Amino acid sequence: MNNTRRQALSGYLFALGATAIWSGNFIVARGLSDIVPPISLAFWRWAVAVIVFLPFALKPVIAERQQLLQNIRYLSLTALLGVTVFNTLIYVAGHTTSALNLSLIAITFPIFIIVLSRLFYGEKITANKMLGVALVTGGVVLLITKGKLSVLHNISFAVGDLWMLSASVIFAIYSILVKQKPKSISIWAFQLSTFSIGLLFLFPFFIWESITVEPVNYDATTVLSILYVGIFASLAAFVLWNKAIVTIGPSKSGMIYYTLPLFSGFLAYFFLNENIGMIHLFSALLIVAGILTANRVSKKIHPITTQDQDSSK
C-alpha cells in the first residue's frame, strides 16, 4: 500500500472513530436531557475537554502563539460555530422534539457538506455521490422507521426541529472551516484554542442559565456522563474528526457520518437490550453500499493535495 492510500485509509478510520464515539454521546446525552439544562451541559462538557487536553496541547499553543494570534478571527468563528453553538443547539432541540425527528434531520448534515464543498471548493457533485446519498438516506430512514414508512406520514414538526436543522447546517460550515485551517497551526494547538475560545463564549450564557433555572443535582451518574461527553465525545471525537477532514476532506468524512445509526444500534443492543432484526441488517447494507458508492473516486483524481498532507502533520 502506497503512502497516498495509507493516508486515505487513516482519514477514513479517523472519521469512523469520531462517528462511533458520537453515537455513544447521543445515548448519554439523551439520559441527561431532563437532568442538566442544555447550556450547562454544553459548558461542563467543554470545560472537561479543555482541562483534560491542556497538558497535551499547552506546549504547541505556546510555541505557535504568534500564528494563533494572527488567525484569531478564523479561530473565533470556528470555535463559535463548532464548539459554542453546534452542541448547544442539539441539547436545546432534544427538549422540544422527538428522537425520530432528530435522527431524520441529523442525516442532512453530510448533504449540506457536499453542497458547501461544491460552493467553496468547486467539488463536483458526481453521479456516485448522488447515488450514495440516496442509498444511505434510504438505509437510515429504513432503520429509524423499522421498515414502516407510513410512520413518516404522522410526523409533526416542532421548534426543536428547526434547532436541529440549524445545528446540522452549522456543523457542515464548521467542517468546511476546518478544511481551511492554516497549515502553520498544528491540530493540537487548533483544538485547544478553539475549545477554550468556544468555552469562553459559552460562559456568560452559562451564568445566565445558572441564575434563571433550578440548581442541578450532580450525582455520580451525572458526573460520569459529563466526563464521557467531555473527554470522548468532545476531545477525542473532535480531534479524530478534524484529522479526517484535513486528510480526506469534508465531503468524504461527512459520508462516513452516516454510519452513526449503525453504531447507535449496536450500543442499544448491548446496553439497552434492544433487538437487532433483519431491518437493521438491510439498513446496514444500504448505508455501507451508499458510503462505498459515494466515495468511489476516479483514478485520474488525486484524492489528497500537498496542502492536506502538510495540514495533517
262 lies in a domain? Answer: yes
In a domain, 63, yes or no: yes
pTM: 0.73
Q: What is the pLDDT of residues 93-132, one digit of tens each?
A: 877 765 555 666 676 677 788 778 778 777 777 777 778 7
Q: Given this model, what pLDDT does residue 300 score?
A: 44
Residue 3 lies in a domain: no
User: Which triple of cell numbers denotes residue 109?
Assistant: 448534515
Q: What is the pLDDT of residues 38-75, one digit of tens each?
A: 899 899 999 999 999 999 899 999 999 999 999 999 99
Tell whether 1 is covered by a domain. no
Q: Domain of residue 223: give its range.
A: 12-311
Please indicate, yes or no, if residue 7 is contained in any of the structural domains: no
Taking all residues of the chain, what is their mean pLDDT, rounded to a whole number?
A: 79
Q: What's the domain count of the chain?
A: 1
Residue 92 is assigned to a structural domain of this protein: yes
pLDDT grade for 303, boundaries at 50, 70 and 90: very low
pLDDT tier for residue 164 given thresholds of 50, 70 and 90: confident
% of the chain residues with pLDDT over 70: 74
| Residue 221 placed within a domain | yes
